[in-house]
Structure formats: structure tokens, C-alpha cells
Amino acid sequence: MVAGMQRLRPVAVRLAQRSCWGARRYSVKAQPSWTAGAGAVTAIAAACAGIGAGFGLWIAQSTERGTAVAAAGASTEPPLGSELARIVVPETIPHVDYESEPKPAYYTDTTQPMHERMEALVLDLQDRLVEALETVERSKRFVRDRWEREDGKGYGISCVLQDGDVLEKAGVNVSVIEGTLTPGQLRSMRERNAQTAQRLGADQEYEFRVAGVSVVVHPRNPYAPTAHKNYRRFEVYRKGHVDAGPVMAWFGGGADLTPAYLFADDARHFHQTLKRACDAHDARYYPRFKAWCDRYFSNEHRGETRGVGGIFFDDLEDKAPEDLFRFVYDAGASFVRAYVPLVARRMATPYTQRERNWQLIRRGRYVEFNLVHDRGTKFGLMTPGARIESILMSLPLAARWEYMNRPEPGSPEEELQRAVRTTADWAA
């Protein structure tokens, strides 16, 4: 595997250097401890074994920068709406028109192993999204951390922005990890479906390799929706037989939209953009992955979906890796178009304490989903040595629980509540 990592690292370095913010801005740090690394790997495996999506690939980063993030703000609640006067709506947002941008080398370079092309893709998606978000958020730039595993078996790049004028809390994280599947991970993977159980022996040892990007954005303006995205490729090798290629490999991921106030146009734009990316590869994908998303991102205990949905899929290996990679490229790249214009459209809308309050209550629901239902988060939290800050980074900066809060009949708050208690065909 070390050979694999040696092949693999230069790619990251190259991409890091050509990435929009430049390598000098990284802090290259070792893990505080091996266990943290081990926890991270387990957590990754959990997320990437399709045990969860919300938690995705948050893993260990250097703490100094992290502290800088906290120190950078978030210690006070700014006066309501005080940011509005400072907000500048950009004329254009980069990477929205992803289809007409020239395809990067990794897109077509079939001489590279798929895991290296996936690594290149997730780093590329991270660069594009951060660049796009920084055109709407002028008050702060993302704080970037680059970390490497002490054992050399992986690295990650985490981009965090907290307490900005536009983005109350946002994280865009990449990680590229390899390791040996623990018995627990192998068991949970074999339990997922009969097909996997056939291909992975209960008494065999396996190594895995995963590359993924995971995103959660919580804007400050109550009219601007929260969104999540997560794409990953997971490869499993028989231990000691890496050169024989993966025994199993699949793609997983998705994106979903969580507004506090319903704008049908926004929901339609989000879904139609994702549908277009899906349809370019398989007309069956969008309907299937849309329904999967509604099922997965559900606060069953409230009879509500987390938001207005999007797409969600896992264990995707129904086509040639080349075809699936191109689908994931489009699905991943389409997120900038699906989401960032919605933030730009709503971020300067005046609002009052009423809207802020409702937003905080809806964020409470987001917390409920991530802590109660999201299998990846739960698995991660139960993982000894897992990096909690990373796992819980998807939680909003602030949330609220009011006893018996009931939206007034006919109010916009009730309209949102109705929207999350039914599922609609937003792409129609």
C-alpha cells in the first residue's frame, strides 16, 4: 500500500499547488495521535461503506488553524441583519456553467488508476466550490487546513468558514485515506447487501482506499437555504493483493437542500440542475436517487424530511467505472450551479427576528437528523478516537428548541412545514 501512497501523493501535491489558494496557505501537520488517525479512518470507512452520508468525510485536521477559526469569530451573535448592508451580490459566479468548462486532464486520462482520478476530482470540486462561495462571501475567506496521517496512509484538506456575513458556518472537506478494514467495518459492509456478502469473505482481511469530498453550508440569511453534498469512491482490496486491483469498488454520494422558508423556484432549480446532471448519464438515476434522498434524509420522529431533498445514492457499481466516474463528475460539479446562485439570490433579503427564530428552529431539526438518524454520524461518534470536531462540523452554529412552537396557519413558516411533511416532484 505504501507504494500506492507514493504513487498517490504527488497527485495531491500537484493539485494542491495549482489549487486556487496556493500551497503556501496550507499548514501541514501530523495527527495529534495515532488513535485519532485510526478513528478517522474508521469513521471514513463508516461513511464510505454507505453507513452514512451526512457525516461523510469530515476527518482530522490540524488544531492550530481550527483554533484560529474559533478565534476568528463566532463568539458573539451579531446584531440582527447588521451584515445586510455589507453584502455585495456578485455579477457572476465561477464554475456555475460547469458543462461548458474544458474538461480537466484527469477526466479523460484513463492511464491513471481510478482512485487517483477520483482524488483529483474531489480536490477539483473542493477548489471550485470554495472559489464560488468566496465570490458571495466577501467578509472572510475560508480557513484551509491540510493534514497528513502520521503513518503516511492518507491526508485531507479542510476548508472552513465560520461567522461570515453570508455564510454562518460552512465546511468543504476532502480526504484521501487508506487502511485495513476492521472486523466491525467488514461486518457492517457484508450486512449491507447479499452481493457484498458474497464478494467479501467474513474471515478474509481487506484493505480499503477512499477519496471523497463532503460539504455542509449554513448561510446566515434565513431566506438562504442550507445545503449538503458528499461524493466518494470506495475501493476494497484483498490484503496483500493490492496490485491485483480492487475486489469491490463503488461510488456514493448526493446533495440535498434544506430551506427554512420555501421558495418553489429554488427547490425546482436545485432539483432540475441535479436531474439534468443525472439524465446526461442515465434517465433512471434521478427518479431513483431523488426517492432515495427523501427516504434517507428523514426525521421520521417528526414525520418530516430534513428539507426539500435532492439526490442520494450508494454502492453505485451498475456501470463501467469510467461511465460512473463521468456521472459523479457531473453530479459533483453541478452542485455549484444547483446551490450557490440560490445563496446569491437570497443572501441580501431583509429579515426580522421572526425569520431568524424560525431558521434557528429549523436548524434544531437539522441537529436532530444528524444526531438521531444519520448512521454515519452515530457510527462516527461511537468510534473510539474519532475526531468529534470533524464529525460534528455539519451541525449549525446555532439552533433552538421551543416547546410547542406551531407556525400560524397560512404563514410562510407553515408553508415550509407542509413542504417537509410531503414529498414533491420538484424537477417536473
Positions marked catalytic: 228
Q: Give CA torsion, residues 61, 64, 65, 67, to 10 deg.
A: 110
Residue from 2, 13, 264, 382 binding a second copy (CB under 8 A) = 382
Interface of this chain with a second copy, residues 386 to 415, rule: CB under 8 A: 386, 388-389, 392-393, 395-406
Grid cell of 341 as nine digits: 446562485
Interface of this chain with a second copy, residues 71 to 110, rule: CB under 8 A: 74-77
Shorter beta-carbon distance to a second copy: residue 242 or 398: 398
Shorter beta-carbon distance to a second copy: residue 170 or 344: 170
Which stretch of DSSP H or E encloses residue 231? strand 226-238
Binding piece for a second copy, criterion CB under 8 A, among 28-36, 99-107, 264-272, 379-387: 379-387
Residue from 32, 287, 364, 412 binding a second copy (CB under 8 A) = 364
Among residues 202, 148, 142, the alpha carbon closest in space to that of 175 is found at 148
Is the Cβ–Cβ distance between 268 and 427 less than 8 Å?
yes
Shorter beta-carbon distance to a second copy: residue 180 or 357: 357
Is the Cβ–Cβ distance between 358 and 222 less than 8 Å?
yes
**Shortest distance (Å) from residue 392 CB to a second copy:** 6
Asked if 169 is part of the footprint of a second copy (rule: CB under 8 A), the reply reads: yes
Grid cell of 303 as nine digits: 414525520
Which stretch of DSSP H or E encloses residue 173? strand 167-180
Name the residue with cell 471523497: 212
Name the residue with cell 501535491: 13
Asked if 56 is part of the footprint of a second copy (rule: CB under 8 A), the reply reads: no
Residue from 60, 123, 160, 308 binding a second copy (CB under 8 A) = 160
CB-based contacts of 184: which residues, under 8 Å, 6+ apart? none
Provide the 8-state DSSP code for 97.
T
Three state DSSP letters for 4-45: HHHHHHHHHHHHHHHCCCCHHHCCEECCCCHHHHHHHHHHHH
Interface of this chain with a second copy, residues 318 to 347, rule: CB under 8 A: none
The 298-317 site mask, x for binding a second copy (CB under 8 A), equals --xxx---------------
Residue from 59, 69, 123, 277 binding a second copy (CB under 8 A) = 69
Asked if 29 is part of the footprint of a second copy (rule: CB under 8 A), the reply reads: no
Asked if 418 is part of the footprint of a second copy (rule: CB under 8 A), the reply reads: no
Amino acid, res. 82: S
Residues that bind a second copy (CB under 8 A): 63, 66-67, 69-70, 74-77, 160, 162, 169, 171, 300-302, 353-354, 357, 360, 364, 367-368, 371-372, 378, 381-382, 386, 388-389, 392-393, 395-406
